[in-house]
Amino acid sequence: MTLAARIAPRLPPRLIARCADLLYPRYEPELRRLADFCPPGGTAVDIGGWYGPWSRRLARRARRVVVVEPVPHLAGLLAATTPPNVEVVHAAATDRDGGTVRLWLPPGDRGNRGVSSLVRRDLHARSIPVPCVRVDSLGLHGITLIKIDVDGSELNVLRGAEETLHGVRPALLIELEARIGPLEPVLNLLAAHGYRGWVLPGRDWLPLSAFDLYGHQSRTAHVAEHGILRRTLTPFRRRYVNSVLFLHGSRRPGSVEAAADAGGRQR
């Protein structure tokens, strides 16, 4: 267990949320580059809100932010600490509506560590029932961005959003990790919808087709085990890339065409 995971249960949740806001732009530099793929206005969807670092930053750009968070106490915290233009849906985003699914948690963890998942892994010990929903059933309009951090159930989230992908073509920022599951099912589904991937290993965005994500994650897997504090506060740290930006067609990060297309299509 990381240092942050040991400390977090002893701290007020609002303080943890504030710390996440401060640290996450260093932990995930894509958050500092929202202007490259998230135009002002419209609706942004944050699937897997955790303590809300993406939700609160997105609220500065989007007219409306909808957070889908399955962990009960985190959903409540988000509702209490996010700006007025943020709506919180307590559910797991998946490929079906209604009923419940099992959310798996590590031993002694209520969901604070951010590694809960609908897909059970070796680190999980128990599960809780949570409601489930499809993105396509949320009744959202003008979606410009969907951010997805679900630790292994990305494919089902996307299957529950295929009407949106086909009709609106929002930008997608998805955490993908080969150590959790194969990447090809997600990549193939998005390619079928006309999406291309981009990554930010340094200052510049690179096409995913020109970046060996499998090889990179294999070489830097030890970095992923360090936790948020060590990865953000250690000088000259090595980057572990696990966020992939997907844009439709010929759109590129930071281009006028990307902003116009993402902001201009309505459902």
Q: Which of 155, 145, 83, 69 is nearest to 114 (CA)?
A: 69
In CATH, what class is 3-90+134-264? alpha beta
Query: Is a pLDDT exceeding 80 seen at residue 70?
Result: yes
pLDDT band at 233, cuts 50/70/90?
Answer: low
Using 50, 70 and 90 to split pLDDT, how confident is the model at 23? confident
Give me the chain's average pLDDT, please: 88
For residue 254, give the nearest of 243, 265, 262 by alpha carbon: 262
On the question of pLDDT at 256 being above 60, the answer is no
The pairing of strands 126-133 and 100-105 is antiparallel
CA-CA-CA-CA torsion for 78, 80, 81, 87, nearest 10 degrees? 50
Distance CA 148, CA 125 (A): 23
Q: Report d(CA 102, CA 116) in Å as an integer.
A: 10
Residues paired with residue 114 on neighbouring β-strands, in sequence order: none
Instruction: State the Cα–Cα distance between residues 177 and 224, nearest whole angstrom.
Output: 10
DSSP letter at 10 equals: G
Domain layout of the chain by residue ranges: 3-90+134-264
What would the two tokens of residue 222 be? 């030890």
- Compute how many other C-beta atoms are within 10 angstroms of the C-beta atom of residue 250: 11
Question: Is the pLDDT confidence value at 61 over 80?
Answer: yes
Q: Residue 150 CA to chain centroid, in angstroms?
A: 7
Q: How far is CA 143 from the centre of its chain?
A: 15
- Check: CB of residue 121 under 8 Å from CB of residue 153: no
**Alpha-carbon gap, residue 175 to 81, rounded angstroms:** 24
Tokens 């409540």 label which residue? 76
- Judge if pTM exceeds 0.85: yes
